[in-house]
């Protein structure tokens, strides 16, 4: 079995685990996007240390932060409602500057769109993160 990054789990096992943890929040924001056209961006971060408290400290009241520890990695998913992809990059840059300037991480940002398949998108995001994360570790 092919292991993902430095974990003992496969890429698919990680996707299944993350999907089960974020399903409720994902479904809620996807419904708001499809029904009421409320924009929502999703930030996925993988780090070697726990940054959940820093994320919560720098997030807005409407943001949802979900953190998972997968072996020796921390995977954080931040839902940013009322935020387009461009503004989500602003959140990331501000957070990088204030909280995690010296931490190595991989990330991906995407906007929730009508008909989005979270498993497919997580799969693509994790492959992109893996490429970026491998170059900095």
pLDDT in tens, 35-54: 999 999 999 999 888 999 98
pTM of the model: 0.89
Give the CATH number of the domain where residue 131 resides.
Answer: 3.30.70.2880
Inter-CA distances, 104 with 36, 74, 135, Å? 37, 12, 10
Domains identified in the chain, total number: 1
Residue at 5 is within a domain:
no
* C-beta separation of 113 from 100 below 8 A: no
Q: Which has the higher per-residue pLDDT, 16 or 72?
A: 16
Neighbours of 94 (CB within 10 A): 11
Residue at 6 is within a domain:
no
Neighbours of 24 (CB within 10 A): 11
Inter-CA distances, 137 with 6, 7, 90, 92, 104, Å? 10, 14, 24, 20, 7
Mean pLDDT computed over every residue of the chain? 87
Q: What is the DSSP letter of 10?
A: B
Residue 21 lies in domain: 11-136
Residue at 130 is within a domain:
yes
List, in sequence order, every residue forming a beta bridge with 90; answer none if it has no partner. Answer: none
């Amino acid at each position: 079995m092919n292991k993902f990054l430095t974990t003992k789990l496969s890429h698919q096992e990680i996707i299944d685990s993350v999907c089960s943890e974020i399903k409720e929040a994902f479904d809620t924001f996807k419904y708001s996007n499809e029904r009421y056209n409320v924009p929502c961006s999703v930030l996925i971060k993988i780090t070697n240390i726990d940054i959940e408290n820093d994320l919560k400290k720098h997030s807005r009241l409407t943001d949802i932060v979900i953190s998972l520890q997968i072996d020796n990695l921390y995977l954080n998913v931040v839902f940013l409602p009322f935020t387009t992809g461009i503004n989500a990059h602003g959140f990331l840059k501000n957070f990088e500057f204030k909280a995690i300037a010296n931490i190595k991480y991989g990330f991906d940002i995407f906007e929730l769109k009508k008909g989005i398949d979270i498993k497919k998108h997580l799969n693509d995001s994790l492959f992109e993160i893996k490429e970026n994360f491998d170059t900095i570790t």
